[in-house]
C-alpha cells in the first residue's frame, strides 16, 4: 500500500505537536515542584544569537498548520509573530495547532498532492509541489523549532528525555 500525502504530513505533525504539548506541560509541573515561574522560559535562548523560546513555539505552530494551509492555498501566510507572551499562551498555541491539524481530512489533504506552489518567502521565490513544500520546508523547520524549544527547556533543568520529544509512536498492532 502506498503512503498518502495525508499520511506523510498530518499524523507526523500531530505526533510531534502532541509531544510539544506534553513537554510544555512537563515544564509547568517542573516549575510547580521547584517554585519557579514558567514565564521565565519565554525569553530563554540557547545562545545569544538564536531566537527565544516563544519564537520556537510560534514557528513550530506556523510550520505545522500553515505549511498545510500553504499546500491548500498556494500561499505560506502564517499570522504575524506575536512576540513574548505568557507561557500559558504558548501552550494554547500548541493546542490550537493540534485542533487545526485534527480538522484536516485524508481526502482533503490527498487532493492537494502534486499541486505546484511558487512561494515567496522573504526575498526568495521557491518552486515547490505540495509534497516537497511539506517534506523539504515545513517538516524540517517544524522539527528544528520543536527540538530547539525542547533543548531550551532541557537546558533550564526541565527533566525531559528523548521519549518526551518522540511522543506517541505510530506503531502497527501486534
Domain at 10-34+46-78+85-165, CATH homologous superfamily? dinb family like domain (1.20.120.450)
User: What's the average model confidence in pLDDT over 62-67?
Assistant: 91
Between residues 114 and 103, which one has the greater pLDDT? 103
User: What's the average model confidence in pLDDT over 90-107?
Assistant: 97
| CB 16 within 8 Å of CB 143 | yes
Dihedral (CA of 97, 80, 68, 63) sign: negative
The pLDDT value given to residue 10: 97
pLDDT bracket for residue 77 (50, 70, 90): confident
| CB 118 within 8 Å of CB 126 | yes
Tell me which residue of 29, 26, 12 sits closest to 109, measured CA to CA.
Answer: 12
Three-class DSSP labels, 65-92? HHHHHHHHHCCCCCCCCCCCCCHHHHHH
| CB 141 within 8 Å of CB 59 | yes
The pLDDT value given to residue 1: 55
Between residues 172 and 37, which one has the greater pLDDT? 37
Between residues 53 and 123, which one has the greater pLDDT? 53
In the chain, domain spans: 10-34+46-78+85-165
Please provide residue 120's backbone torsions phi and psi, each rounded to the nearest 5 degrees: -100, 115
Q: Mean pLDDT for the chain?
A: 92
Amino acid at each position: 500500500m502506498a503512503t498518502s500525502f495525508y499520511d506523510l504530513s498530518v499524523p507526523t505533525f500531530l505526533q510531534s505537536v502532541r509531544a510539544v504539548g506534553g513537554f510544555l506541560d512537563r515544564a509547568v509541573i517542573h516549575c510547580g515542584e521547584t517554585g519557579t515561574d514558567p514565564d521565565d522560559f519565554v525569553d530563554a535562548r540557547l545562545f545569544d544569537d538564536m531566537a527565544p523560546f516563544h519564537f520556537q513555539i510560534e514557528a513550530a505552530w506556523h510550520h505545522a498548520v500553515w505549511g498545510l494551509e500553504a499546500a491548500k492555498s498556494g500561499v505560506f501566510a502564517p499570522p504575524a509573530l506575536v512576540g513574548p507572551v505568557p507561557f500559558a499562551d504558548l501552550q494554547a498555541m500548541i493546542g490550537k495547532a493540534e485542533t487545526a491539524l485534527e480538522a484536516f481530512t485524508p481526502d482533503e489533504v490527498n487532493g492537494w498532492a502534486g499541486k505546484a506552489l511558487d512561494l515567496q518567502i522573504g526575498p526568495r521565490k521557491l518552486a515547490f509541489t505540495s509534497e516537497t513544500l511539506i517534506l523539504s520546508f515545513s517538516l524540517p523547520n517544524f522539527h528544528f523549532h520543536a527540538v530547539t524549544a525542547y533543548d531550551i527547556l532541557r537546558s533550564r533543568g526541565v527533566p525531559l528525555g528523548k521519549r518526551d520529544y518522540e511522543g506517541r509512536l505510530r506503531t502497527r498492532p501486534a
